[in-house]
A and B are shown apart, each in its own frame.
Chain A
Amino acid sequence: MAENDVGLESALRRRLLMGLAAVPAASLLPRLALAAAPPTAAINTTGLAVTDTEVTVGILHSVTGTMAISETGAQQAEKLAIEEINQAGGVLGRKIKVIQEDGASDWPTFAEKAKKLLVNDKCAAVMGCWTSASRKAVLPVFEQYNGMLYYPTFYEGLEESKNVIYTGQEATQQILASLDWVAKEKDAKTFFFIGSDYIWPRTSNKIARKHVENVLKGKVVGEEYFPLGHTQFNSVINKIKLTKPNVIFTDVVGGSNVAFYKQLKAAGIDLSKQVLMTISVTEDEIDGIGGENIAGAYACMKYFQSLKNPNNEKFVAAFKKMWGDKTVIGDVTQAAYLGPHLWKLTVEKAGSFDVDKVAAASNGIEFKGAPEGYVRIHPNHHLWSKTRVGRALPNGQFEVVYESADLIEPNPFPKGYQ
């Protein structure tokens, strides 16, 4: 229902904004209340939707369709962050106005809506996308019309763009440290890979395989992919029983996840004895899988809701206050929360909303208030961040069992792993 209200509001706002944009003279008039804020003409030289009181930011996620399951958390976090920024006085003295568009789980729709947000609404930045496919679809649009996208999902890497800030981890960041950990702690030598059949699992497993074979001197005893939406895993579970790997390494996504863990448990594979490491299950997914079905599994992520630090406690409380007590917060939700804050810090450092200046100023931006702890933007527009391993508990939360000592450098084009 919340989406509905926002939809209606943003529709009204849009009309207002269009009206304002049509009379640029009005926006040049100095206002008493904003004496401290810099004049619009100076901080917006490229015609973005910035007035003396407002700046427009787009949110582009799927509200309908199969991906709505996953993307709900991300857009909630973005709205929370924007709300917080507005309460703290906005960006360069301007309140953020949100225009939300629905990508409808359909990649061409994402491209169409991205273009609308940039060309018609002149958004200063866009928070959005979830799947690799939707990002690939909008990327040419952002590059052509020079927009700024904050992309929250952990993803396969192999990409770097002036117009995108990747606030999730790329594959090497997420995987390598955790593989080292599992090899050391669990004395793991043999691995079985299971993934959904698309670019992210395939690339992640390729990186994992190289690491297992070349660095850890272990062995991959099986590598299997299933079509998205596949719900029958009994055969592969039998193969796991036959090959008896030390570690089951999974990157299955969506509804398949639920089927996989339920069938794994039913087949008598006890996750308290069999080590299973996943890079695709967050607190969000456990909601659907059921905590008791996955308890004992390890997940490598940069963020877990149970992290103990003051930033996170504040964030979790605020999130639940805004979206209800029953909501859970996964890795991507937290990464989505970083987007608006990083953009605000960057704009303030650049002293301008201009996309070119924001893109140039991004390098080295630090966000100390991040729930995951300190993060910093790398020149390649990914984030320096820590990697953690969590163990799933029956109540659907994770217990953090490992945390990398230092921030890990993002490396979207990893040498030796391609």
Chain B
Amino acid sequence: MTSPSPRTDNPFMTPTEWAYLAVLCALIFVLLPLALDGFRLNLVGKYLTYAFVALGLAICWGYCGILSLGQGVFFGLGGYCMAMYLKLEASSVENTRIQSTPGIPDFMDWNQVTALPWFWTPFKSLPLTLIAVVLVPTLFAFVVGAAMFKRRVGGTYFAIITQAIAAILTILIVGQQGYTGGINGITDLRTLHGWDIRTDSAKTLLYFVNGGLLVACVLAAQFVKRSKLGRILVAMRDKEDRVRFSGYGVASFKIFAFCLAAAFAAVGGAMFTLQVGFMSPSFVGIVPSIEMVIYAAIGGRLSLFGAIYGTLLVNWAKTTFSESFPELWLFGLGALFIAVVLAFPDGLAGLWRRHVAPLLTRRAKAPMPQRAATLPKGAPAE
């Protein structure tokens, strides 16, 4: 479902892909809500917010060959934008009467901040917040991407720079606690434009909104993948120089893919804040950023649907195992990283394609794509 098929004028989605999409929709909108109680459904909702990040990584890493170890930055920025709006709404003058300065978030009051900082002001308005949720992380991605890709920095080096950025942003947020809530993050969020997001019915509704947005993002990613743009991305990944010599501006395409992944992550972050009720710097740092990469890797880095299933599976395993065997879980997660790299570089999607899909399709069509053809070959160690 992922490798470019031999035909060039293929439609937006093949029948098989429509079927996959239908299965995904059935799972998210019918099966899970019916099978799970409110608590578990909310958990799945939380996992699905990570799926936005994994989806972005599938485009940016799988198709374009840019491994970002700093996607937590964009997830976090999106989440923080949403959290700032919600916090301002929760900090109305009557809610914060006991503070020395009523009407500002409680953590500011504790840190002797007496007036709302300028960069918090736009978040009094919901439309501006919604714009900021997508725009701020995307712009940030644009600045980082432009600086790196225009100078042809890529590969491992790009990965560790994004990681350094994630670390630095965490320290910044933690250090400026009067303005950001510090290590505690922004907590105790209550209402969205007057609508209480803590009730069970609100959580269920948010789950469906989240699912809808995710499907929309899948369609957007699918559009990119199927368009000519997607082909250029793959070509760039496999032989960047040839694409450059053919007259394409390689950097701009990379920047686009990176920004798209950032925008997806930001939407996920905002939905996370809404469903979980707080945002903290622990999502911005190195650890969550790398964990999000493993979701995409487990699902199959070249598969959009795989990214979602990978996220669900890893998180489900994490919750289940860490409830009973917290020690074993870390060994398991570590082994998962190594196994997916050594033994199953195509992840779940690869297993599906090689073992399950052939059983399902009676009439064999084109021969199965070879692994070597779909994996980024990469240059020999430089």
How many residues of B are counted as interface, with CB atoms below 8 angstroms from the partner's CB atoms? 40
Nearest B residue to A11 via CB reads B324
B154 near A: Cβ within 8 Å? no
7 contacts between A and B (CB under 8 A): A11-B323, A107-B185, A107-B278, A112-B46, A137-B185, A197-B175, A198-B174
Q: Are B322 and A104 in contact (CB under 8 A)?
A: yes
B352 near A: Cβ within 8 Å? no
Q: Are B327 and A3 in contact (CB under 8 A)?
A: yes
How many residues of A are counted as interface, with CB atoms below 8 angstroms from the partner's CB atoms? 40
Q: How far is the CA of A202 from the CA of B325 in the complex (A)?
A: 36
Given A116-B39, A198-B183, verify A64-B326 contact (CB < 8 Å).
Answer: yes
Q: How far is the CA of A10 from the CA of B171 in the complex (A)?
A: 37
Q: Are A132 and B39 in contact (CB under 8 A)?
A: no
Q: How far is the CA of A343 from the CA of B94 in the complex (A)?
A: 34
- The smallest beta-carbon distance between B175 and chain A, in angstroms, is 6
Q: Are B174 and A228 in contact (CB under 8 A)?
A: yes
Q: Mark B175-192, 1 if CB is under 8 A from A, else 0.
A: 101000011110110000
Q: Are A418 and B100 in contact (CB under 8 A)?
A: yes
- Find chain B residues with CB under 8 A from A37 CB: none
- The smallest beta-carbon distance between B210 and chain A, in angstroms, is 16
Q: How far is the CA of A63 from the CA of B283 in the complex (A)?
A: 20
Q: Are A112 and B43 in contact (CB under 8 A)?
A: yes
Q: How far is the CA of A12 from the CA of B7 in the complex (A)?
A: 55
Q: How far is the CA of A104 from the CA of B321 in the complex (A)?
A: 12
Q: Mark A107-151, 1 if CB is under 8 A from B, else 0.
A: 111011001100110000000000011001101100010000000
B110 near A: Cβ within 8 Å? yes
Q: Secondary structure at chain B's binding surface: helix, strand, loop or mixed?
A: helix
Q: Are B43 and A199 in contact (CB under 8 A)?
A: no
Q: Are B183 and A140 in contact (CB under 8 A)?
A: no
Q: Mark A35-79, 1 if CB is under 8 A from B, else 0.
A: 000000000000000000000000000011000000000000000
Given A102-B322, A132-B184, verify A197-B327 contact (CB < 8 Å).
Answer: no
- Find chain B residues with CB under 8 A from A202 CB: 110-111, 177
B276 near A: Cβ within 8 Å? yes
Using A107-B184, A136-B278, A199-B184 as known contacts, list a sample of 5 further A-B pairs with CB atoms less than 8 Å apart, ordered by residue number in A. Answer: A3-B326, A10-B324, A102-B322, A198-B183, A228-B174
Partner of A119, one of B39, B110, B188, B319: B39
B107 near A: Cβ within 8 Å? yes
Given A11-B323, A139-B187, A139-B188, verify A199-B282 contact (CB < 8 Å).
Answer: no
Given A108-B282, A115-B39, A139-B188, verify A199-B326 contact (CB < 8 Å).
Answer: no
Q: Are B39 and A133 in contact (CB under 8 A)?
A: no
Interface positions of B (Cβ within 8 A of A): 37-39, 42-43, 46, 98, 100, 106-107, 110-112, 171, 174-175, 177, 182-185, 187-188, 198, 276-278, 280, 282-283, 319, 322-330
- The smallest beta-carbon distance between A61 and chain B, in angstroms, is 10
Partner of A144, one of B183, B198, B325, B330: B198
Q: Mark A334-373, 1 if CB is under 8 A from B, else 0.
A: 0000000000000000000000000000000000000000
Q: How far is the CA of A200 from the CA of B234 in the complex (A)?
A: 50
A413 near B: Cβ within 8 Å? yes
Q: Are A120 and B39 in contact (CB under 8 A)?
A: yes
Q: How far is the CA of A75 from the CA of B233 in the complex (A)?
A: 52
Q: How far is the CA of A180 from the CA of B98 in the complex (A)?
A: 28
- Find chain B residues with CB under 8 A from A7 CB: 324-327
- Find chain B residues with CB under 8 A from A198 CB: 174, 177, 182-184
Q: How far is the CA of A227 from the CA of B177 in the complex (A)?
A: 11
- Find chain A residues with CB under 8 A from B319 CB: 112
Q: How far is the CA of A132 from the CA of B106 in the complex (A)?
A: 14
- Find chain B residues with CB under 8 A from A3 CB: 326-327
Q: Are B182 and A137 in contact (CB under 8 A)?
A: no
A4 near B: Cβ within 8 Å? yes
Nearest B residue to A418 via CB reads B100
Q: Are B324 and A8 in contact (CB under 8 A)?
A: yes
A101 near B: Cβ within 8 Å? yes
Q: How far is the CA of A202 from the CA of B46 in the complex (A)?
A: 32
- The smallest beta-carbon distance between A17 and chain B, in angstroms, is 13
Q: Are B182 and A4 in contact (CB under 8 A)?
A: no
Q: How far is the CA of A227 from the CA of B43 in the complex (A)?
A: 32
- Find chain B residues with CB under 8 A from A104 CB: 322, 326
